[in-house]
Amino acid sequence: MQTPAQNRPAAQVFAQPQPPAHAPITPARSAAFAILVRVADTSAHSDDLLHGPGMSALSQADRNLAHTLVFGVLRWQIALDARMQPLLQRPDQALPTPVATALRMGAFQLLHLDRIPAHAALSESVELVRAAGHPHAAGMVNAILRKLTRQPPAQPKLYETTAAFAERLSHPLWLANRWVQNYGRAAALAILTHDQTEPQPNTLFLSGDAPVVPPASSYPEVSTSGFMTSENEEWVSTPDLPHLDDGSRLVAELAAASHPTPTRIWDTCAAPGGKTLILAARHPGAHLLATDANPRRLQALATRLETTSPQTKTLHADATALPEAEGLFDLILCDVPCSGTGTLSRNPEIRQRLQPADLARQATRQREILTAALARLAPGGHLLYSTCSLEPEENEQVVAAALAAAPGITQLPLDPILDQLATTGLLTTPPADLLRNGHLRTLPGANFSGDGFFAALLHRP
């Protein structure tokens, strides 16, 4: 369902009979509705809004329901729209954002939450439309959701086309086609299925109260209490070390293990800082510089480091313009901004926003950052380039372009480091499963329990 910024007045679009008024809207649905409208109309991130100050006034039960509604609607939006589009009197009509949002919320509750009474999902969706200033759309919302309750459940097919399973699993067709082409049909289906689930607790690494690293290991012991979502700014708690998504943790451990005794380390795009803290814990004697181009994110990181790693230096700087006075580094983690297609389970709105043309724009920026970082790599130094993207334009092609433009830089195999992590007990997934043409390539749901990450290790002789 389209939701353009400008629409005809609702009175000219909808002509359904008006349902009677119902009870007031519950706080959880009201909060979820406001967040979903804002995500649709702005560049705001759902996770930031769900951890914003407005949510603190809700009870724990209401916060849980609001979280379920927001992430559920965003994950299933494409499939929900496909179910409801044929039920509209004019399937090609563009709906105002509040109307489309109320329909999606109602449809998600009816189709995916069996503990929500149908009458509650339907009546509160109608009231949300009225409260949002679209009373003439209330009858249409009522009628569409009632029709939805009378539809028979979809029957499983013996074989689905890519278009069919992309719609069923609520992904853009262009993205599903890319993954089928790049990774095969079975892996693409596994990725799409994984993206529709709630992110799971860390399962790749040992965690909890037991030491993460066996005492005999050469690594220092690190606590992993707490939780932080990959590539997001909000921390659920403020632990000594965040409990990262499996993919984020693996990248940080790879970087730390790639150089046994670095004197100077640079984390180029450090915020929110989970990987920074692992680097600091693994190499407590090194001088560690953490930079980020976003001042707000960097300040949040600096505040965390005051108690967790006070020896780490933070600097507000674009990775492509690090001051010359900072010198060269033995170890560089270049975990660059990307499309985030490996994180759609925890960042579901990406699938509504990302367009194919965005990949080339991301790749240009990534090449600039990697090229600048390689220029600061000391002789004998190692650089780990990584993204949470599944797209070759942002990964293999960026590395190939950087190597072509930087004579003398070579790429090193990751097998020995993954084997080392497995030997120490950190890594429980077979290392060979995580490698593709010499690169780390984790595919969510296909060969990996967490987010999708890419990594390549570069070396200056």
CATH number where 127 lies: 1.10.940.10
Structure tokens at 113: 């939450």
Looking from the CA of 266 toward its CB, the CA atoms found within 13 Å total 32
Q: How many domains does the chain have?
A: 3
Distance CA 382, CA 457 (A): 7
Task: pLDDT tens for the chain, 461 residues: list them.
Answer: 766 443 433 333 344 445 555 558 999 999 999 999 999 999 999 999 998 888 989 999 999 999 999 999 999 999 999 999 999 988 888 899 999 999 999 999 999 999 999 999 999 999 999 999 999 999 999 999 999 999 888 787 889 999 999 999 999 999 999 999 999 999 999 999 999 998 875 555 433 322 233 222 333 333 222 222 233 323 223 334 445 788 999 999 999 999 999 999 999 999 989 999 999 999 999 999 999 999 999 998 999 888 888 889 999 999 999 999 999 999 999 999 999 999 999 999 999 999 999 999 999 999 999 999 999 999 999 999 999 999 999 999 999 999 999 999 999 999 999 999 998 888 888 899 999 999 999 999 999 989 999 999 999 99
Query: Quick check: is 157 in a domain?
Result: no
Q: The CATH number of the domain where 286 resides is what?
A: 3.40.50.150
**pLDDT score at 239:** 38
Distance CA 223, CA 281 (A): 10
Distance CA 74, CA 78 (A): 8
**pLDDT score at 24:** 81
Query: Quick check: is 156 in a domain?
Result: no
**pLDDT score at 237:** 30
Whether residue 175 sits in one domain with residue 123: no
Q: CA torsion 259→454→456→381, rounded to 10°? A: -40
Structure tokens at 204: 């790749």
Distance CA 227, CA 312 (A): 21
Whether residue 364 sits in one domain with residue 324: yes
Query: Quick check: is 158 in a domain?
Result: no
**pLDDT score at 380:** 97
**pLDDT score at 82:** 95
Domain that holds residue 32: 10-150
Whether residue 277 sits in one domain with residue 413: yes
Whether residue 377 sits in one domain with residue 229: yes
Q: Which of 169, 173, 109 is nearest to 145 (CA)?
A: 109
Distance CA 228, CA 442 (A): 19
Whether residue 204 sits in one domain with residue 190: no
> What string of DSSP letters covers 363-432?
HHHHHHHHHHHHTTEEEEEEEEEEES---GGGTHHHHHHHHHHSTT-EEE-SHHHHHHHHHHTS--S-GG
Whether residue 268 sits in one domain with residue 182: no
Helical H segments across 272-326, by residue range: 274-282, 295-308
